Amino acid sequence: MEFNNNMPIYLQVIHKLKQDIVTGKLRPGEKMLSSREYSHELGLNFNTVARVYKEMEMENIVFTKRGLGTFITESTEKIEIIRYEMAKELLENFVNGMEHIGFTRKDMVEFINK
């Protein structure tokens, strides 16, 4: 995975993991790599990855079972919420970009449907 050093790296890793969850690459309830293993895989600082896991746990996207590891949430509703939030962000960027070049909402919908 390539990282953009101009923004916090942990946010980029969280984004990637959310994508993997939403696309099903990471299944509900699946065991994740340990922070240590994942930091080796990504070639990143251990503390960065530990922070990623911590933040995602606070958002209830992953949970830790003491002594067993960290797992993806089993809640399909939660996964839908993540998908919705990602879609919302993509849409906002799209709408902003299109408005910038002079499209109205109506124009945009027509354009998409073409």
Partner 1 sequence: MKELLDITNLTKKYYNKVALDDVTISFEKGKIYGLMGPNGSGKTTLMKVIIGLHKQTSGNVLINDNPLSYKTKCFVSYMPTENFLYESFKVKDIVKYYSDMYPDFRSDYAMEILKEINVDIEFRVSKLSSGLIGKLKVALALSRDTLIYLLDEPLNGVDVLARDAIMDLIVKSYNENKVFIISSHLVSETEKILDSVVFLKDGKVELCGDAEELRQQHGMSIENLYKEVYK
Which positions touch partner 1 (CB under 8 A)? 3-10, 36, 39-40, 43-48, 51
Q: How many CB atoms lie within 10 A of CB 80?
A: 11
With respect to partner 1, which residue has the nearer C-beta, 39 or 70? Answer: 39
**Of 9 and 98, CB closest to partner 1:** 9
Q: Identify whether the C-beta of residue 17 lies closer than 8 Å to the C-beta of residue 56.
A: yes
CB of 63 to partner 1, least distance (A): 23
Smallest separation (angstroms) from partner 1 to the CB of 95: 23
Smallest separation (angstroms) from partner 1 to the CB of 47: 5
Q: Report the nearest approach of partner 1 to the CB of residue 34 (Å).
A: 13
Angle formed at CA 9 by CA 57 and CA 55, multiple of 5 degrees? 10
Tokens, residue 73 = 């949430």
> For residues 6 and 96, which CB has a smaller minimum distance to partner 1 in the complex?
6
Q: Which is nearer to partner 1, 45 or 104 (CB)?
A: 45
Contacts of 25 (CB under 8 A, 6+ apart): 19
Distance CA 1, CA 13 (A): 9
